[in-house]
Amino acid sequence: MQSELTLIEQVKLGKIWEFPGGINPPERKSLSNQTEIGNFTTHTLYIPIQQHIGVAGSLLVTKGESVLKGQALTSPGEGLSLPVHAPTSGVISDIIDHVDAHPSGKTVLTIVLEADGKDLWVNKNPLLNWQELDRDTVVKHIQAAGVSGLGGASFPTYVKLSPHKNIDLLILNGVECEPYITADDVLMRYHANEIVQGAQIIQHLVAAKLCVIAIEDNKTEAIASIEKALADVADIELRVVPTKYPSGGEKQLVELITGLQVPSGGIPADIGIVMQNVGTSFAVKRATIDGEALVSRVVTVTGERVKNPQNLWVPLGTPIKTLLQNVGYSPEKTPRLIMGGPMMGFNIVDDMMPVVKSTNCILAPSNFHLPERGVEQNCIRCGQCADACPAELLPQQLQWFAKADEHEKLKEYDLFDCIECGACAYVCPSQIPLVQYYRIAKSDIRQAEEEKLKAEKAKRRFEVRQERLERDKQARLLRHKESAEKRKKALAQDGSAKDKIAAALARAKAKKATSENTDDLAASDTPQDKVAAAIARAKAKKLKSSKVSVDNSADSTPEASLETSLKATDTAPTTNPNKDRVAAAVARAKAKKLAKEEQEKVKNDAELKNETDHKGHADAADKPVSEAQVDKTLTAAEERKAKVAAAVAKAKAKKQKAAADEPNQEPTLDFVDKASAKISNEDKKRSADDERKAKVAAAVAKAKAKAKKQATESENSTNTSDKETPDLNVADDLSQTPEQIRKDKVAAAIAKAKAKKNANNDTDNGSNNS
C-alpha cells in the first residue's frame, strides 16, 4: 500500500513516525522562554573570518578602516565559502589571531571591530521580486549575505539551496529538542510571519512541492504562532512531533516526518528532501526581502548560574564574557560554561570566545541541576546505550573497539553513522564518555586513511621515477652502443682516422689522471686558470686520501679543504664573476658541512665512548678532555679559516664594482642581520647583479657567524666539562650545535628576506608595514 503513494502524498496524510531509542532528559526550558527577545549591544566585537564549514574568505578590509553595519569584511574564497559582515558600524581596530569558537581553543584570524554607537546600516540591496528573478541570482545573493545553517552545523546555506537533485519536500526544523535551549522557540513565537516568508523563498528556490514545519509538542505558544502565520499559506503545513531527544537531528526528523531513512553516507537531498532550521529561514528572509546580511542571531543565555536567563539578539562577534556580565552570571568554584546545549555543546575554555553563526546557546549550569559526570568505570555491558541510540548502533561494541584502536571493526559496526548526539553517554551507568571515544576514533580513522592515500601516491611516484631512471639509463646505454658501432665502422673505412683517435685518447687519458677528484669549481678558459685548477685538483686529491687514512683526528681536514677551495678561488681570475661567487658560496657551504660532519663523528665517538665507559670507568676522565681539546683546535682553526675566507670573499666582491659594507671581525647573529640589512639597503642604487654579490657576502657572514657560535659553544662546553661528568656534557653540546646552526640559518635568511622586502617597499613607496 505504502509503496504506491509518493512521498508527498504520504507526508500529507499527516502520520508522525517513530525512531528507536532516544532519551527524555529534564527540559529546563522554562528558565529562558518567559520573556521576549531582548536586544544586546556591546563595544568591541571579535569577528572570526571563518564561521562556517568550508574555506575561509579573503580579507577585504584593513586595520583602521571604517565600516558600516552589514558591510562585507571578507569575500568568499574558492569552494565552499561565505563572507562575514560587520555586525555594527565602527572602526576596525585590529586583525589578529584570536581564540576561535571551537572546542580546541585554537586561534583563528579575527577582525576586531570597535563600535561607534551609531549602528548605521550599509546600503541595503533587497530582492523584493525574488519570485521573478533567476534562481541563481537569488542564491548568490543569499551567499553574499553570509547565511549559513543556524541550527548548529553552520553549513553554507547557498549550497543546500541549489541542490542538483529533484526535491519533493522541504522540512523546516523547529524541533529544538536539546534541554535549556529556547532560541528557536522564541523566534517562532515572535517572528512566525518572517519565518514563513523565508520558508516560501526556500521552497521556491529548491522547487519543493510541499513544506512541513516541525515543532515539538512542548512549545505550545510557538505552535499557535506558526499556525496563525500559516493560515492563508498554501503548500506549507505544520507537524507536531512528540518531545524526545534527539528528534531535532536531521536524520531523525526525516524519519519522523516521512518514515524514510537517509542512506548512510548520503544527504537528505538524495531522497528528495531538504531541511533547514527556522533560524536559517528567518535569515534567508532578511537577506532576500530586507537586503540585510547575517549580522546577529538569537542566543539563549541560560543556566542556573545566570540571574536573568533570557534570549537575546546578539551581534556576531560578541565575546562571551561581555554577554555573561550583562545577565548576572556568577560562576561556581570551578566555573563551567558550555557553548551549545548540555548534550552536544562544548566546554568554553576561554571566555573571550566570540559568538559566531553557529552559537545558539551559552549555558552556565549549576552542579546541582546538571551534575558533573562521575569518574569512568568499566563497562558492565548493560546495553542501556544501545537502547538509547537513535541510529540503532551498538555503542558498547564501538567503545570496546575504540579503546582497542580496531579500525576495521569500527567501520564494520558503522562508527561513521554516529551523529554524536550523546544519548548513549547520557544513560551510561558507568559514566563512560562514549562520544569522546568515538570522536577520537573517527579522527584517527580519517587520518589513517589520508596517510594511506598519501603513501599510495608516494609509492606510485617512486615507482614511476624508478622506471624513468631505468629508461634513461637504457636509452643512454643504447646511444653509447650505437655511437660506438658508428665509430668502429668509420674507423674500419678510414685508416688515417685511427691515428687521430689514438692521439685524442692519449690526451684524454692524461687529462683524466689529473682531474680525478675535481669539484665543480669554475671551469676557466685561460691557461692560468687551467694551471690553478690543476693545482687545486691535486691538492684536493691529496686531501681526500689523507682524510681517509687519518683516524678521527679532526684537525687537518676541514681547514685543509677550506684552504684548498680558497686557494682555488683565490687564484682563479675574475673573468667569470658569477661563477666565482657561486664557487665561493659553494666552498663556504662545503666547509660548513665538513665541519659538521667532523663534529658528528666526534659526537659519535663520544657516545661510543660513553657506552664503553660504562664497562670501564678508568678512562673516563681522559677521553672527553682530549676530545674537548680536539674540539678546541677544530673550532679555533675553523674560526681562523672562516675569517680568512670571509676576508677573501670580501676582497673579491670589492674588486667587482661599488664597494659593499664589510662585516668586521666579530660577527654575531645581530650583526649578520645588520650587515644583510645594510647591504640590501644599498641595493636601491645597484643593479640585480650586485644583489647576488650581496647574497654571497651575507652567506659568508653567516658562515662565519656559525663558526663563531660553534667555537663559543664548544668552548663553553669544554670549560664546564673538565670538572664534572665530562662525557655527557660534551656529547650534549655537540648535538646542540648542528641544530643551532640550522636555527641560525633560518633566522638569518628570514632577516635577509625581511630587509630585502623593506628595501623593495621603500623603492615602491608602499606603506605596508608587515
Binding positions for another protein, 262-281, rule CB under 8 A: 262-266
**238 φ/ψ sector (left φ>0, alpha ψ -120 to 50, else beta):** beta
- Touching another protein, residues 560-599 (CB under 8 A): 582, 585-586, 589-590, 592-593
Question: If binding is defined by CB under 8 A, does position 770 make contact with another protein?
Answer: no
Are the C-beta atoms of 714 and 734 separated by less than 8 Å? yes
Q: Which residues contact 751 (CB under 8 A, 6 or more apart)?
A: 672, 673, 676, 677
| Residue keyed to cell 605596508 | 768
Question: If binding is defined by CB under 8 A, does position 328 make contact with another protein?
Answer: no
Question: If binding is defined by CB under 8 A, does position 15 make contact with another protein?
Answer: yes
CA distance 234 to 209: 10
Are the C-beta atoms of 246 and 421 separated by less than 8 Å? yes
Supply the minimum distance, in Å, between the C-beta of residue 221 and another protein: 26
CA distance 136 to 674: 57
CA distance 278 to 610: 71
Closest CA to 213 of 257, 247, 183, 243: 257
Which span (129-137, 260-268, 488-496, 549-557) binds another protein, by CB under 8 A?
Answer: 260-268
- Touching another protein, residues 80-109 (CB under 8 A): 99-100, 102-104, 106, 108
Supply the minimum distance, in Å, between the C-beta of residue 442 and another protein: 8
Query: Closest CB to another protein among 285 and 588?
Result: 588
Question: If binding is defined by CB under 8 A, does position 391 make contact with another protein?
Answer: yes
Binding mask 447-476 for another protein (x = CB under 8 A): x---x--xxxxxx-xx-xx-----------
Query: Closest CB to another protein among 488 and 601?
Result: 601
Q: Which of 4, 62, 132, 374 binds another protein (CB under 8 A)?
A: 374
What's the sign of the alpha-carbon dihedral 112, 115, 121, 127? positive
CA distance 693 to 702: 14
Question: If binding is defined by CB under 8 A, does position 347 make contact with another protein?
Answer: yes
Q: List, as one string, the DSSP characters of 94-142.
A: EEEEEE-SSTT--EEEEEEEEE-S--PBPPP---TTTTTS-HHHHHHHH
Supply the minimum distance, in Å, between the C-beta of residue 511 and another protein: 24
- Touching another protein, residues 293-322 (CB under 8 A): 321
DSSP state of 97: E
Q: Which of 749, 754, 758, 761 binds another protein (CB under 8 A)?
A: 749
CA distance 723 to 742: 30
Query: Closest CB to another protein among 328 and 383?
Result: 383
Supply the minimum distance, in Å, between the C-beta of residue 142 and another protein: 24
Q: List, as one string, the DSSP characters of 399-431.
A: HHHHHHT-HHHHHHTTGGG-----HHHHH-TT-
Question: If binding is defined by CB under 8 A, does position 492 make contact with another protein?
Answer: no
Q: Which of 64, 371, 495, 527 binds another protein (CB under 8 A)?
A: 371
- Touching another protein, residues 200-259 (CB under 8 A): 251, 255, 259
Supply the minimum distance, in Å, between the C-beta of residue 98 and another protein: 9
Supply the minimum distance, in Å, between the C-beta of residue 564 and another protein: 16
Query: Closest CB to another protein among 259 and 577?
Result: 259
Question: If binding is defined by CB under 8 A, does position 325 make contact with another protein?
Answer: no
Query: Closest CB to another protein among 334 and 496?
Result: 334
- Three-state secondary-structure class, residue 515: coil
Question: If binding is defined by CB under 8 A, does position 79 make contact with another protein?
Answer: no
Supply the minimum distance, in Å, between the C-beta of residue 747 and another protein: 11
- Touching another protein, residues 154-193 (CB under 8 A): 179
Are the C-beta atoms of 436 and 346 separated by less than 8 Å? no
Q: Which residues contact 422 (CB under 8 A, 6 or more apart)?
A: 343, 344, 435
Question: If binding is defined by CB under 8 A, does position 737 make contact with another protein?
Answer: no
HSE-up of residue 739 (Cα within 13 Å, Cβ side): 5
Question: If binding is defined by CB under 8 A, does position 343 make contact with another protein?
Answer: yes
Which span (78-86, 125-133, 347-355, 524-532) binds another protein, by CB under 8 A?
Answer: 347-355
- Touching another protein, residues 608-667 (CB under 8 A): none
CA angle, corner 190, sides to 187 and 191, nearest 5? 70
H or E element, residue 287:
helix 278-288
Sheet containing strand 169-174, edge to edge, reads 236-241, 210-216, 169-174, 273-277
Q: Which of 377, 526, 668, 716 binds another protein (CB under 8 A)?
A: 377
Question: If binding is defined by CB under 8 A, does position 39 make contact with another protein?
Answer: no
CA distance 63 to 469: 53
Which span (66-74, 423-431, 488-496, 639-647) binds another protein, by CB under 8 A?
Answer: 423-431
CA distance 248 to 231: 25
CA distance 634 to 602: 11
Which span (122-130, 138-146, 718-726, 738-746) binds another protein, by CB under 8 A?
Answer: 738-746
- Three-state secondary-structure class, residue 664: coil
Query: Closest CB to another protein among 565 and 714?
Result: 565
Supply the minimum distance, in Å, between the C-beta of residue 281 and another protein: 26
Q: Which of 111, 215, 435, 594 binds another protein (CB under 8 A)?
A: 435
Residue 283 C-alpha cell reads as: 535569515
Question: If binding is defined by CB under 8 A, does position 757 make contact with another protein?
Answer: no
Q: Which of 44, 125, 218, 261 binds another protein (CB under 8 A)?
A: 261
Task: Give the CA dihedral 468, 474, 477, 483, nearest 10 degrees.
Answer: -90
What's the sign of the alpha-carbon dihedral 65, 68, 72, 74? positive
Question: If binding is defined by CB under 8 A, does position 747 make contact with another protein?
Answer: no
Question: If binding is defined by CB under 8 A, does position 123 make contact with another protein?
Answer: no
Q: Which of 92, 273, 386, 697 binds another protein (CB under 8 A)?
A: 386
Supply the minimum distance, in Å, between the C-beta of residue 396 and another protein: 6
Cis peptide before 667 (omega within 30 of 0): no
